[in-house]
Structure 1
């Protein structure tokens, strides 16, 4: 009788302890972590041991431009050779051969979720260490001119890491090697840098992540970036499972929720889906500005009506939006491709971020630091050989902050046709706390850009 009582008491104490731990973590905003057998692996080990073997079991879709590890040329050759031998993935750029090899996997692609076993959030959890402390060459890939971390490089890492996390989650009992799934990035829902967050390029960085929500073919990956056991950045990437040829959607494993934490993250993912739908319905591309916004831009118009085409805005701290536009152009070479022979999304994100940062710094005349990155929507893949046009504009300013919108268009140089592929929103803050110049639109298009950017800024401000 006493033994039963003690066993019951032990179970109650265990549940209470778990409940208290969950409450403390939720209140503190600490990242969720699961036990990892053998501890986190290092970036070099990602290529040289455990994760490389895991990727061989999956698809091996990681683009080498995603991780810049030691001895770049030799390591790239080694990894490509091993992945090619074990998964049938190509080391050379041959789209026709790629299509032939991947088309064979269509027969093992599941048609319904009922064919797949349910998976848990724990199944997908992974940790990776970027060993900057011990690797000087790796430091050189990540350090910026201010002795901090290049955020663009971090975006590349997170993009690759999110794909790996999804492949850990996806499981098809019919498959052998390789996997019939193609996993692509659909959206960076948000990426928040903690207030005062500074990443030291001479200290190790820990990436953690897990699939926190799934739909029929979509997965939301929650990731954190830590240094010195402190969370510096948190992000949510929305990934999509596609068929072997990346031409249509594929069903993914349904999720089994094990505990209250699982349900909390899953419900948050459901809420994010509804928010994105509501935001799309209220888009300025579908609906006119609301009453408050109409009044705001009318007041701005009345102020700007006195300006002539050649005059400068009144006040020393104001600039026209037309003078706050910056451009970049890049030819997309095969070495920037992913395993689906499309340009690696992390590469595009890095280019866009660095243009956005340069634009904000040039516009404000002072060093800027990123605070929010949100709603990076991947509308269509970027083909190898495309000409990538990046156009940034200072969309909104308030106090010491600016929101930069970067538009990515791909051009088929044979036809000259351009198509929108991505839109990026980056919020930056003046590091010295100075008030940034106010941006003033001068056209209806400019006013719509201003309102769109303002909506993103206010949404990010409310989420703090």
Structure 2
């Protein structure tokens, strides 16, 4: 199956690509050649580093890439439009044949570590974005001038399928929407069980293209949908972009909560008041309730070179893994059950983190309903010399446990705003459930390649 898949992808690329060009390091960076083999995620990572012109081994001084600026297009019209299937990529996480990987990917319960999958999806999304870019100005053998960084993880939804740590996991994806310098990439994970591929997760990444020195935006190829399927996927990307903009404008740090949300906060406050004591300051915890201030844990990480990305800053997947594992511990501690992650959403990457940084992570239970727990993790970088702290990332996670959990009560206005923000994220996840189908797949690409 794997060999047929890769051969069909090769045929498709020749049929769909109307723009004639010589293969370059850029175009070959994420190739799954030879045709009879699907590469592993580890092999593709090595190829990506070569395409970016990154030497192996750590150096505290980042390599100078400023000379590559001459190959950047000055407008999007200089780049040939691409179909979605041009960026389609597939790889394997070879758990069935690597005991070393099994050790790294297995939890103490014998399941697959979600955090490790987050790391793989993050780097894979960059590979897909790299495969989308086609620059006719770039000479053969020249590293890519675009610097690709993860700007946002819109959403990662998990199915009910439980992957096994001793079977290979297939990771695949394609670009699903493009702006002038940003690309939405859909990534999904699958595992074969009893002859059938089962979807594990579907993720949406927003990848930003920057210039060689990572100081300003760089143009990327526009998308020209090849068929109605791609048109529908592209329209979905436009809708998600509009939704992100609308939600950001209504953030509690920018706009007063609406009337219903103000009423909710007031009702929560009244539940903490006793009829026998009319004091505003004397608050009583309701039955089966818990104060938000008691639902938090934290962690401090000193990052090392092994945690870096291709740009000599801390790898975004590493941050996501650490945040996910810290939130899981909090969910376990809070509910007394081992929680199952349902969704991770709205992961913001506000600033790059230097490799030698002190990273503080704070996880809070901010909202609960029935058997669901909404947790937010704030990632901060602390400078011991200046005493300054910068919030670099925010991660929202939705968990589910087997029984109804306690209700969370805020005691301060700050906690009330965290409650409202968490409630918004929870209901945003609930109103748009897990989507199994809104992606391309190898079967559809194989069929198109026969036309």
> Into which bin does the TM-score normalised by the smaller protein fall?
0.7 to 0.9
For residues 29 and 87 of structure 2, what CA distance do their matches in structure 1 show?
16
Q: Structure 1's 87 and 454: CA in aligned 2 closer, same or farther, altered over 3 A?
A: closer
Residues 348-377 of structure 1 deviation map (CA, whole Å, 9 limit, x = unaligned): 000000001111111111110000111001
Structure 1 residues 322 and 55, CA gap change in structure 2 (3 angstroms): farther
CA distance in 1, matches of 2:229, 2:8: 22
Instruction: Kindly state the Cα deviation for residue 60 of structure 1 after the two structures are TM-superposed.
Output: 7.4
Q: Please show how residues 30-429 of structure 1 align to structure 2 within 5 Å.
A: 36-38=5-7, 56-57=25-26, 79=46, 88-96=53-61, 98=63, 100=64, 102-176=65-139, 177-194=142-159, 196-228=160-192, 229-306=197-274, 313-315=285-287, 317-429=288-400
Task: Please report the TM-score for the alignment, with normalisation by the length of structure 2.
Answer: 0.83
Relative distance call for 1:186 and 1:88 in structure 2 (3 A) is closer
Aligned residues between the structures: 400
Residues 119 and 39 from structure 1, CA distance in 2 versus in 1: closer, same or farther, beyond 3 angstroms?
Answer: closer
Q: State how far apart, in whole Å, the 2-side matches of 1:373 and 1:337 are.
A: 22
SS of the residue corresponding to residue 36 of structure 1 reads helix
1:2-46 CA-to-partner distances (Å, cap 9, x unmatched) read xxxxxxxxxxxxxxxxxxxxxxxxxxxxxxx9x832489xxxxxx
Task: State the secondary structure of the residue aligned to 1:314.
Answer: coil
3-state SS in 2 of match to 1:146: coil
Q: Hey, what's the Cα distance between the residues in 2 that align with 1:157 and 1:39?
A: 24
CA-CA distance at 1:245 after TM superposition: 1.3
CA separation in 2, counterparts of 1:274 and 1:388? 32
Q: CA deviation at 1:83?
A: 5.1
| Residues 153 and 345 in structure 2, CA contact (< 8 A), matched pair in contact too | yes
Structure 2, unaligned runs of 5 or more: 10-22, 31-39, 434-451
For the residue of structure 2 that corresponds to 1:354, the secondary structure is helix
Over 6 Å off, 4+ runs: 58-61, 307-312
Q: CA separation of 1:376/1:97 partners in 2, compared to 1, >3 Å: closer, same or farther?
A: closer
Contact conserved, 1:60 with 1:339, CA < 8 A, in 2?
A: no
Contact 2:62/2:311, CA 8 A, preserved across alignment:
no
In the aligned structure 2, how far is the partner of 1:108 from the partner of 1:79? 23
Q: Which secondary structure does the structure 2 equivalent of 1:37 belong to? A: helix
Supply the distance in 2 between the matched residues of 1:395 and 1:56 (Cα, whole angstroms). Answer: 47
**Counterparts of 1:146 and 1:401, CA distance in 2:** 21
- Distance apart, 1:87 and its partner CA: 5.8
Match of 1:20 in 2: none
Paired residues of 1:56 and 1:83 also in contact (CA < 8 A): no
Change (3 A) 1:298 1:421: same
RMSD: 2.7
1:172-206 per-position Cα deviation (integer Å, ceiling 9, x unaligned): 11113200011110111111112x22111111111
Cα separation, partners in 2 of 1:261 and 1:128, compared to 1, 3 Å = same
Distance in structure 2 (CA, Å) of the matches to 1:231 and 1:56: 32
TM-score, normalization by structure 1: 0.81
Query: Deviation string for 1:95-144 (max 9, x for gaps)?
Result: 5451x2x0111111111101111111011001111121222221111111
Change (3 A) 1:414 1:59: farther
Task: Provide closer, same or farther for how the CA distance between residues 131 and 310 of structure 1 changes in structure 2, counting only shifts above 3 A.
Answer: farther
Is the Cα contact below 8 Å between 1:58 and 1:179 reproduced in 2?
no
